Amino acid sequence: MKLLRYGPKGQEKPGLLDGEGKIRSLAGSIADIDGALLATGLDALKGLDIASLPVVEDGVRIAEPVARVGKFICIGLNYSDHAHEAGMPIPSEPIIFTKATSAIIGPNDDVYLPPKSVKSDWEVELGVVIGKEARYVELDNALDHVAGLCVVNDLSEREYQLERGGQWDKGKGCDTFGPFGPYLVTLDEAGQLDNLGLWLEVNGKRMQTGNTASLIFDVPYLVHYVSQFMSLQPGDVISTGTPPGVGMGMKPPVFLNEGDVITLGIDGLGEQRQQVHRTSL
């Protein structure tokens, strides 16, 4: 199942994508797609006659697929070739940092650079959405706690991240730096977790091409590992790291500018498109 949310900001409604690529409204069936719904195992959606659901008009805004995300957890340097391009050692354990939930926007919403940013960068990543509380979970049971997968653009201001006192969070949580969606794809439709292709382009030029087969720490391990340090609640998101091709790693480095267009996607999980603007003081 491909779940989504649609509509103007602050007025989003729940929906799903049918087999013909049409958006069907779930507004008459559920209140929203959030942690409370995911915690039930999507019981309210079982047995629905999808063909009977109202079709949503084309051109509607697609929002982030999960409302009121509690925690946005990110994993750093989780592809060995990305660690190499960043000039950092391959981690022996997952590197965990957080991204502010206030950074979350819809997959096609505009991105706004901080007013003085000169080193804003892109990162296509596989996102994992928690469906069942995970606390000290065993590796073999980790996927039982996952509601589905999604596309994340982990936008990053590299000066703030690396040159302002060593706290990665500073460069990760800027407003609009967390495009998320378009869909929450349940595991039965998500394909092979260890063989999903990722890509990202800036102004039509391919920058990143990768595959989850190259993850250092895979999805089950990350859910297991993170749950040893904090409980994961339904609706929480883990962004699993980015493959090589970020602007910071190019020679010379390339960073985002006003007017740039970012497009990205993951096999079977959908695509995103953002236009870049600069925030006025």
Residue 208's domain comprises 66-278
Burial class (CB in 10 A: 0-12, 13-18, 19+), 226: buried
Supply the pLDDT for residue 255: 98
Supply the pLDDT for residue 270: 98
* Residue at 41 is within a domain: no
Supply the pLDDT for residue 153: 98
Supply the pLDDT for residue 162: 87
* Residue at 265 is within a domain: yes
Whether pLDDT at 1 is above 80:
yes
Phi, psi at residue 151, to the nearest 5°? -95, 140
Q: How many structural domains compose the chain?
A: 1
This prediction's pTM: 0.95
Looking at residue 87, what DSSP letter applies?
A: T
Please report which confidence band the pLDDT of residue 144 belongs to, taking 50, 70 and 90 as the band edges: very high
Please report which confidence band the pLDDT of residue 75 belongs to, taking 50, 70 and 90 as the band edges: very high
Whether pLDDT at 117 is above 90:
yes
Q: What's the mean pLDDT when you consider all of the chain? A: 95
Question: Residue 83 to residues 88, 245, 250: CA-CA distances in angstroms?
Answer: 5, 11, 13
Whether pLDDT at 91 is above 90:
no
Overall average pLDDT of the 48-57 stretch: 95
* Residue at 119 is within a domain: yes
204: left (phi over 0), alpha (psi -120 to 50) or beta: left
Whole-number Å distance between alpha carbons of 204 and 181: 20
Overall average pLDDT of the 34-45 stretch: 96
Neighbours of 40 (CB within 10 A): 14
Assigned token pair, 160: 């703030």
21: left (phi over 0), alpha (psi -120 to 50) or beta: left
Whether pLDDT at 262 is above 90:
yes
Supply the pLDDT for residue 251: 92
* Residue at 248 is within a domain: yes
Supply the pLDDT for residue 176: 98
* Residue at 8 is within a domain: no
* Residue at 124 is within a domain: yes
* Residue at 262 is within a domain: yes
Radius of gyration of the chain (CA): 18
- Chain centre distance of CA 95: 17
Question: Residue 96 to residues 136, 179, 181, 219, 220: CA-CA distances in angstroms?
Answer: 16, 19, 21, 14, 15
Neighbours of 46 (CB within 10 A): 8
Whether pLDDT at 88 is above 80:
no
Q: Which residue has the higher pLDDT, 88 or 40?
A: 40
Whole-number Å distance between alpha carbons of 26 and 24: 7
* Residue at 32 is within a domain: no
Please report which confidence band the pLDDT of residue 81 belongs to, taking 50, 70 and 90 as the band edges: confident
Phi, psi at residue 159, to the nearest 5°? -60, -45
CATH number at residue 81: 3.90.850.10
Question: Residue 186 to residues 32, 66, 129: CA-CA distances in angstroms?
Answer: 16, 13, 9
**pLDDT tens-digit readout, 176-203:** 999 999 999 999 999 999 999 999 999 9
